[in-house]
Homo-oligomer: A and B are copies of this chain.
Amino acid sequence: MIKFIPIVVGIISVLTAAVMALRVLKKSPGNKKMQEISHAIQRGAITFLNEEYKVISIFVTIVFFALLFAHFYTDLPWQTSLAFLTGAIFSALAGNIGMRVATSANARAAEAAKKSIVDGLIIAFSSGSVMGLSVVGLGIIGVSLFFLLFSDADVASILFGFGFGASSIALFARVGGGIYTKSADVGADLVGKVEAGIPEDDPRNPAVIADNVGDNVGDVAGMGADLFESYADSIISAITLALLATIYSNADIYPLIIASMGIIASIVGMLFVRGSNGYAALRNGLFGAAIIFAILAFITTYYMMEDMNPFYAVLVGLIDGIIIGLATEYFTSDQRKPARKIAEAAQTGAATDILEGISVGMMSTLIPIISTCVAMVLAYELAEFYGVALAAVGMLSTLGISLATDCYGPVADNAAGIAEMAGLGEETRRKAESLDAVGNTTAAMGKGFAIGSAAITALALLFTFVEKAKETMGVEIDLNLTSPYLMAGLFIGAMLPFIFSSLTIGAVGRAAEKMVNEVRRQFKELGILEGKGKPDYESCIRIATRGAIREMIVPSSMAVVVPIVIGIWKIEALMGLLAGATASGFLLAIFLANAGGAWDNAKKYIESGNLGGKGSFAHKAAVVGDTVGDPFKDTAGPSLNILIKLMSIVSLVFLPLFAKFA
């Protein structure tokens, strides 16, 4: 009986998402102008997704047949291909639903904000909840289905297929979406704000719709796919380690039950999101869900397991996630010292602003790394490798609601943009902007959380890899750190995040350059600023879409091909590669995300009237810092989350292949 709980909870989750979606859609979408803008954003977002799906479907088809082919030559089960396909489809589905609702909710949130901030907040949050609950619902349904259906076969290898499918979508969504959103943003800002001196979200800027589309494809679809992957992978690695090496009976179904409790806690937590203070409402929801989850997990463990250690391991992960979120908030908030020190450094120019931001970003790695190391060691002491995987499951347990607060951000951002573009007046715009400000804080925490969960999931996968490799290779593999092959793998692995970031940051630069030239051309040829012509939004959307699609190919392929090549060479080098990539990817991701977030908020701090306010020397310097930070925090940083997880899951899937060559 107990084994059907996850499926039932998953269905409840998806149904709740549907109810939330209807609740959003029945609200008024505002006046004609607002609807027009909202439709344009939605159309742009869907255009991008469709283009992206074309590339993805080629990739997925190739991999599907490669896996099927591998089945005939190695020990890979045939169901892995099927699971791969399902993982890809489920992830795409969750992202698609989430984005459609988000792009429908933006105008509705702006319209509701006319009356009160809280009404706007509820709409934006509900739309985020649709994404959150779709992700966890589809995630748990997918994993449970394959777990139940094929429990007699090599179920671990089948589940890796599901994870690989999810990872593939995440890869393209994060990398492509990240390049899209920042090339549009940087392009719009460099010409619009800096050169022409028109405000943010001014409808005369031809890149403004592309910019708003970018918020959705990057922060909704990209973030959703990223966390879908972490969510699925963490459960899969816990199940695998349960099957391979643990002392507990019930250990294999336990992670699914724990995840189910997390979904229930998330749904209940959503009821706490109310009241007049936006930030407090979201925080109450998050902490309420965490507490409820802890209680449910305690009871579950008490009745299911031989001792309470698995519960403590889950708790360790949950706390690690909270610590990382709070640390991220500290290092990026405009209320705190780090961002203010950056703002002060901006008074002596852009160079000092940037140096201070780099210094802050690097320092911000301290707490997440130490906290995650402590969590890993504790979880291991509690329940060995299985404990580490449980910590990852624990951290991600309340993803339903934490993802809802993440996806709240871009909806609020879009709402503020629509309020500006549709000319809803000072009052409404101010309200929409205060919605947006809440979103910025939650977005920073969400980013920290996404990185932290990616790292702990990657660690769990890493340990899974070793245990599974022992089984597949048939012998104890020598993973001694003194092997020069392992050490070479470690160095190359540590290098990959640098190369990957170089490619993605370079991609934003190149795509933004095209955008800059197009906006300049339109300003010159169409006479938009003089009020003579209307901007051509479509052409900017086209440029961002094409740039993102083209530029995502090389880094994405790298993430899949390198581990396979190294694995065929030497399995110990692959192990080193994964360890090196996880460590260096985790560090770079935190550094990039927090430096970017801190620059952003340092600029906002100045804009709110400090140190000379808007237009001052310090403000100009801070704008440079913010622009540098854009691809740091929204393209390169988040893409690294995928890189480290994907390489581990690719290695797991292709283990039978490496065994052939060993």
User: Interface residues, chain A, CB within 8 Å of chain B?
Assistant: 186, 190, 194, 345, 348-352, 354-356, 358-363, 365-366, 369-370, 372-374, 376-377, 380, 385, 388, 459, 462-463, 466, 479-482, 484-488, 490-492, 494-495, 498-499, 501-503, 505-506, 508-509, 512-513, 516, 575-576, 579-580, 583-584, 586-587, 591, 624, 627-628, 631
Contact = CB atoms under 8 A, between A and B. Distances in A.
Given A359-B502, A380-B484, A486-B481, A624 B466 contact: no
Contact of A624 (B351, B503, B505): B351
A624 B624 CA distance: 10
Contact of A587 (B348, B349, B495): B495
29 contacts: A190-B352, A194-B349, A349-B627, A350-B624, A352-B509, A354-B628, A355-B506, A355-B508, A358-B502, A359-B501, A361-B502, A362-B498, A362-B499, A363-B498, A363-B503, A363-B506, A365-B495, A374-B488, A377-B485, A377-B488, A388-B484, A459-B487, A466-B482, A480-B480, A480-B481, A481-B486, A494-B494, A498-B587, A583-B583
A498 B190 contact: no
A194 B486 CA distance: 49
A480 B373 CA distance: 17
B491 A372 contact: yes
Nearest to A494: B583
Contact of A370 (B349, B492, B494): B492
Contacts of A575: 481
A363 B507 CA distance: 13
Nearest to A489: B373
Interface centre among A359, A380, A480 (most CB of B within 10 A): A359
Contacts of A503: 359, 363
A467 to B, nearest CB: 8
A620 to B, nearest CB: 10
Nearest to A347: B513
A576 B494 CA distance: 14
B190 A348 contact: yes
Contacts of A369: 491-492, 495
A620 B388 CA distance: 51
Contacts of A376: 484, 487-488
Contacts of A488: 373-374, 376-377
What 4 pairs between A and B have smallest CB-CB spacing?
A362-B502, A351-B627, A373-B488, A359-B506
A203 B331 CA distance: 42
A529 to B, nearest CB: 19
A509 B356 contact: yes
Nearest to A501: B362
A584 B496 CA distance: 11
Contact of A351 (B359, B576, B628): B628
Contact of A190 (B349, B480, B482): B349
Given A354-B354, A499-B366, A624-B350, A481 B576 contact: yes
Nearest to A182: B355
Contact of A584 (B355, B484, B502, B587): B587
Identical copies of this chain, number: 2
A365 B499 contact: yes
A232 to B, nearest CB: 23
Contact of A494 (B358, B482, B584): B584
Given A186-B351, A360-B502, A466-B481, 6 more contacts: A190-B352, A362-B505, A380-B484, A463-B484, A480-B480, A481-B486
A462 B483 CA distance: 11
Contacts of A583: 490-491, 494, 580, 583-584
Contacts of A186: 351
A498 to B, nearest CB: 4
Contact of A480 (B194, B479, B502): B479
Contact of A516 (B348, B374, B466, B492): B348
Nearest to A582: B491
Nearest to A486: B481
A355 B479 contact: no
A459 B587 CA distance: 21
A352 B182 CA distance: 12
Contacts of A380: 484
Contacts of A370: 492
A481 B484 contact: no
Contacts of A491: 369, 372-373, 583, 586
A355 B361 CA distance: 16
Given A380-B484, A487-B459, A355 B586 contact: no
Contacts of A194: 349
Contacts of A513: 345, 348, 352
A553 to B, nearest CB: 17
Of A356, A459, A575, A579, the most chain B CB neighbours within 10 A belong to A579
Contacts of A485: 377
A423 B482 CA distance: 59
A481 B350 contact: no
A656 to B, nearest CB: 20
A490 B579 contact: yes
A389 B178 CA distance: 43
A402 B376 CA distance: 45
Nearest to A388: B484
Nearest to A583: B494
A587 B631 CA distance: 21
